[in-house]
Structure 1
Amino acid sequence: MVELLSVRLEKWEKATEWPLTVLSVVFIAIYAWQILAEPTGWMGALADWSMNALWVIFALDYLVSLALAPRRWEWIKHHLFDLAVVLLPMIRPLRVLRVLSALNVLHRTGGMALRGRIVMYAAASVLMLVLVGGLAVLDAERYAPGSSIKSYGEALWWAFVTITTVGYGDYSPVTPTGRIIAFALMLAGIALIGVVTATLASWIVGEVSADEQRATEVTREQVEAVSKRLERIERRLGVLAAGEADRGQVVSSNDDEDPDD
């Protein structure tokens, strides 16, 4: 039974991976439209309805995956982020968490070396988190009293300096939600710096190991070449020694047959 559920869960995740990624991108696009265009009337209602419908789809996917999991509590403990993605988007500014589900597919993309996937994942994460983090903080701060973030350009600049852990301080959030977003971006920036550093260190170690391996291969080839030359010399010396011995025997025989003796 456990093996059957595991197989079904794996099939479900493979079947829904790309559709959910596309829906995540649509989710983010609608969210951006809501923040930047601030639609009203029936267009605003349509945007809200679309967001809620997509959220229901994500929640259903989580529930189906949970039902198919052979060990549900273990699955929940290992998928707390997925649970947060489903629950927290109910709070409008934190819906940006959905973007990370789209990045998961990039992280698992095949046909590329592990180091290449890590670099692509880190670059895509920075870009998406800056763009969507700017949207989230603008949504939280735009109309807050005393806020310095009033436009998307200012929000983008703030998100960039925050995720790079520079933090000039020219713009800063004043609302609790904005500060939560700032905290999340700072953590993401620290994590991404760690990823880049580890990838660079891995590349350096790999290059050094490759150089050592090439040097070892060259040395091995040289030793093999010298060994072969020594073998050829030994064979030639053996042939020469055998020839000298044969000539010595012939001379000795001739001496024995000499009539003067």
Structure 2
Amino acid sequence: MAPPDLVAEPRIAAWNRRVDWWLTGLAAVFLAAYAWQVLDTSLPPAGRDALEFVLTGTWVVFVVDYVVRIALARRRWYFVRTHLLDLVILALPMFRQLRVLRLITVITVLNRQLRDDARGRVLFYVMGAVVLIGFVASLAVLDAERYAPDASITTFGGAVWWTITTISTVGYGDRYPVTPEGRLVAASLMVAGIALLGVVTASIASWFVENLRRTEATVERELDEVSADVDRTEVQLAAVLAELRAINARLDALERSSRPS
């Protein structure tokens, strides 16, 4: 089922159907290129420039996708107002210090493939979201922190450990970001962790409520069947009693007729 805003914008819905899988592929390319750039410290300058070209080019495609959707919208200002987060996510990475936010664009694009039926496959959705967000946050915080003075997050393993403790809202405090970019990643990860916990809690509660309702419906249906069986049994007993009374009446009549006058 399409989101309500796309029901009123059929041209945007048609555009999304055409390009979503292509954009998903580009998002995967973007993520792979970014991971390579962050994790491979032995890359020569030419290799880093090539990966940066891929990252920038892919991000530009995402910008073009947003502009096209605005052009296709019947109510353009309404579309902009209801998609301000998309606009901010696309606009902020133009600043070099905030380029890690391009990764949020990737998550947004990948989310478009899963959001239509998220409740029906919530376990897959949440697990996939946790892995994706955790991997992206680990790369982003390592990219921001690795060469900072007094940094405690200088390896990918340390970044993954920090991500796990942060997204689970445990926060041991043994590792923490010291740069503005790293703290921005941390703030985003904290919000994501709270949101994911809320989704899991709501899904579990919904599962219990649905099962209770299903059980109640089953019990009511069985009670109705039992009640119907009882009614049928009462009718049958009444018929048997009526038949017995008729037989008894006949016997009495025969007995009276057989007596000598």
Residue 145 of structure 2 is matched in structure 1 by 141
Aligned residues, how many? Answer: 251
Residue 3 of structure 2 is matched in structure 1 by none
**C-alpha contact 2:145 2:179 (8 A) present in aligned 1:** yes
Residue 69 of structure 1 is matched in structure 2 by 73
SS at match of 1:105: coil
CA distance in 2 between counterparts of 1:103 and 1:179 reads 24
Matched, 1:94 2:101: yes
Residue 105 of structure 1 is matched in structure 2 by 113
Residue 18 of structure 1 is matched in structure 2 by 21
CA distance in 1 between counterparts of 2:9 and 2:130 reads 33
SS at match of 1:70: coil
**C-alpha contact 1:149 1:171 (8 A) present in aligned 2:** yes
Structure 1 5/199 Cα, relative in aligned 2: closer, same or farther at 3 Å? closer
- Where structure 2 has 5 or more consecutive residues not aligned to the other structure, the ranges are 1-5
TM-score, normalising length from structure 1?
Answer: 0.87
Residue deviations 1:197-225 (CA, integer Å, cap 9, x gap): 11111122222222222222222221111
Residue deviations 1:101-148 (CA, integer Å, cap 9, x gap): 213312335xxxx54422222211111111110110111111111111
CA distance in 1 between counterparts of 2:64 and 2:151 reads 38
Match for residue 164 of structure 1 among 149, 155, 168: 168
Q: Which has the larger radius of gyration?
A: 1
SS at match of 1:173: coil
Matched, 1:188 2:192: yes
Structure 1 55/86 Cα, relative in aligned 2: closer, same or farther at 3 Å? same
| 1:251 CA drift (Å) | 7.0
TM-score, normalising length from structure 2?
Answer: 0.87
Structure 1 226/241 Cα, relative in aligned 2: closer, same or farther at 3 Å? same
**C-alpha contact 2:59 2:102 (8 A) present in aligned 1:** no
| 1:163 CA drift (Å) | 0.8
CA distance in 2 between counterparts of 1:102 and 1:72 reads 24
- Where structure 1 has 5 or more consecutive residues not aligned to the other structure, the ranges are none
| 1:236 CA drift (Å) | 1.9
